Structure 1
Amino acid sequence: MLTAPTYRTVEGAYLDLLRVACDSPEFNIAARGNDAREVIGVSFRLPNPRQRLPYLAARKANPVFQFAEALWYLAGRRDLEMIGYYAPSMRSSSKDGVTLGGSAYGHTLFNPPAVGDAWSPFERVLELLRTEADSKRGYLPVFSAAELTVADNPDMACLAGLHLFVRDGRLHMVCHMRANDLDCGLLSDVFSFTMIQEYAAIQLGLELGHYTHTIGSAHVNECNVDRVRRVLNEAELRRAPHSFPFPAMSVTTGPDTIRRLLEHEALLRTNTVKYSADEIARLNLDAYWQQAVLLFEVYRQIRHDESDAVGRDVLDCLHPGLRWLCENKWEACAGAEGAK
């Protein structure tokens, strides 16, 4: 049987792809002046897409941004006001300084494509999958040929599309990437797309199936090779990988959940409110999504408070894997224990 290589967590796939691209590249390219090592046409599968986070100290993955980006997609947004707060570097990809283009995947997926159309592509595909057993047509295109006509386009979609399949009571998904920066983009993409898959499964009342990620151009930029080597060395030297099984998304999650979450996110982003862990526990959100608000409060404290340490009450309520990532990402989190 010919299927994509299977990994227990995204971390294993990430490390293997980095090794191949760095040590055995097929090509050395310089697209738009960016020197990179490239492998063409690779894929991998995650039987459990919830294992979407890596736990590597040298990589310093940012769970705050990952949750923010996934919610930004699910809300169908394209504004820089929100996503630029968590990733200022994304501002350079905007032509007008206000919105993003091709990389605002959620805007394409979750909004009606034309004036007068009441349904988004996402809603149409879900309706198809509800009514047509074993359908092969549940494809959500994102990349548009029209993007090729813009010569100075700074933000062409890397995501070609998402393909949803209902089989044996589970929702499986295949992601097709035009290109993936293995060091900078892969982890965030897998996180967001598997969140979209899990969200879709809930709307359909199905169990979560496997996730397959396919890439046309899998590459590592030369300017990041030293950092990649540090990540690979860490993985080589450690005794065993960290393991933090992540819980399932709550089955009550729907559009209203996303709306309420982003109301709290906006209040924290603008430093309009400050939440204690007890206050977050009393919000009109279930325990799963309270984790996202805890992360946004962590980041609010890092960005806006004068204290050198994040409140221990907030950190202690985070899922152990999220807490580990925060403590490895920011000194203010790692130093919170001694500051209390």
Structure 2
Amino acid sequence: MQDSPHARHYEWQYLDLMRHVWEHGDQRMDRTGVGTRSVFGVQLRFSLAEEQVPLLTTKRVFWKAAAREMLWFLTGETNIRPLLQEGVTIWSDWPLAKFRKASGTDITQAEFEARIVADEAFAAQWGDLGPVYGKQWVNWDTYEYGPDGKYTKGKGINQVAQVVESLRSNPGSRRHIIEGWNVAELDRMALPPCHKTYQFHVAGEGARARLNCLLYQRSCDVALGLPFNLFGAALLTRMMAAQTGLQPGELVWSGGDVHLYLNHAELVEEQLGRTPEGSPRLALVRQRDSIFGYRIDDFQVCDYAPQGVIRAPVAV
């Protein structure tokens, strides 16, 4: 994994990482009980110039689901109902497991999701994930100390809006950060944030100034999660660049506990037997007035002809 990131097809970085984790990772038990092979401390780099996007070609990545998830984060929403209404089921496992345990029923995922969509009250009770990503990104809680010696809830902090403004007004700042790891609220989250910290950096000046993004991910499921995370981070960077008048630069991905689940052997072997090909492009069809105004039809992926889908179970 020491080659220049741009010397070969960008996807070899991902495949080299997958092979390294599978062949040399430390085998250990984890929260889910499934078990993983894990390495610690990894970095990947991808150019976003000329509409490049780190979308895997050795298997189909459902990029619209990843895009809808990113747009969902930006709304501050924490209930899975809006996602399910758009056919995105990637967050269903956690509330489904909670409902099954509480109710003692063996309801299928499809039945649970249909009920979430159809019944607003049921969704409010069982579809909420707690103060996950979007809540922290656009409405981080604050508290104000009053004259009576008590704290009252203040106005929430919109980190995304603050970063857009700081990129415009103070591009040289080293504080362009969106943080999801709110220690005080971790125990209320269905899943603490994995892709927890986004830091942006402006390189160059004038019309050629470029926006780079570094994503730090504390925990990374290489097989299922990372393909989504790379596309999501690239999409967010492209939107941020558009809103701040900057050119897309580079996406730097940094992983802490980087792992493959032991029950993903067939996926790993199948994908490592494939060769990446093609150069998909991500186009922003239109620029919205606000970072929060984008819709799924504002994005178009071109020249994407991936190899077949490879499925594997999610560890909950």
Distance 1:139 1:67, change over 3 A: closer
Partner deviation per Cα, 1:212-240 (whole Å, 9 max, x = no partner):
000100000000022111100123xxxxx
Distance 1:320 1:131, change over 3 A: closer
Letter in 2 for 1:29: R
Q: Which has the higher helix share?
A: 1
Q: TM-score, normalised by structure 2?
A: 0.73
Note the C-alpha offset of 1:127.
Answer: 1.9
TM-score of the pair, normalised by structure 1: 0.68
Partner of 1:51: 53
With a CA cutoff of 8 Å and minimum separation of 6, indicate the structure with the bigger relative contact order: 2
Conservation of the 8 A alpha-carbon contact between 1:4 and 1:45: no
Query: Separation in 1 of the partners of 2:84 and 2:4?
Result: 34
Relative to structure 1, is the Cα distance of residues 218 and 198 closer, same or farther in structure 2, using a 3 angstrom cutoff?
same
- What is the identity, as a one-letter code, of the residue corresponding to 1:6? P
Q: Which of 158, 177, 180 is matched with 1:139 structurally?
A: 177
Match of 2:248 in 1: 208
What is the aligned length?
A: 262
Aligned to 2:34: 34
Contact (CA 8 Å) 2:53, 2:282: kept in 1 or not? no
* Residue in 2 that maps onto 1:245: 280
Change (3 A) 1:132 1:9: farther
Amino acid at match of 2:160: F
Of all paired residues, the percent bearing the same amino acid is: 22
Structure 2 alignment gaps of length 5 or more: 99-124, 143-152, 311-316
Partners of 1:143 and 1:216 lie apart in 2 by: 14
Matched residue, 2:128: 99
Of residues 29-38 and 138-147 in structure 1, the stretch that sits farther from structure 2 once superposed is 138-147
CA-atom RMSD, angstroms? 2.9
Say which of 166, 169, 181 aligns to 1:128.
Answer: 166
Unaligned runs of 5+ in 1: 236-240, 263-284, 292-317, 331-340
Deviations 1:161-199 (A, max 9, x none): 100111211111111111100001001011111111111
| Distance of aligned partners of 1:328 and 1:258 in 2 relative to their CA distance in 1, 3 Å threshold | farther
Change (3 A) 1:10 1:190: farther
Cα distance per residue 1:81-132 (max 9 Å; x no partner): 1324544352222355222246x42332234644653751111122222222
Within 5 Å, give how 1:1-340 maps onto structure 2: 6-7=5-6, 11-25=11-25, 27-32=26-31, 33-48=33-48, 50-56=52-58, 59-84=59-84, 86-88=87-89, 90-94=91-95, 96-101=125-130, 104-111=132-139, 113-114=141-142, 117=155, 120-149=158-187, 154-168=190-204, 169-235=209-275, 241-250=276-285, 252-255=287-290, 258=293, 261=295, 288-289=298-299, 291=300, 319-321=302-304, 324-325=305-306, 328-329=308-309
Distance 2:182 2:140 in 1: 15
CA shift, 1:9, in A, is 6.0
SS at match of 1:82: helix
CA distance 1:37–1:43, shift in 2 (3 Å): same
Q: Within 2, Cα distance between the matches of 1:4 and 1:146? A: 41
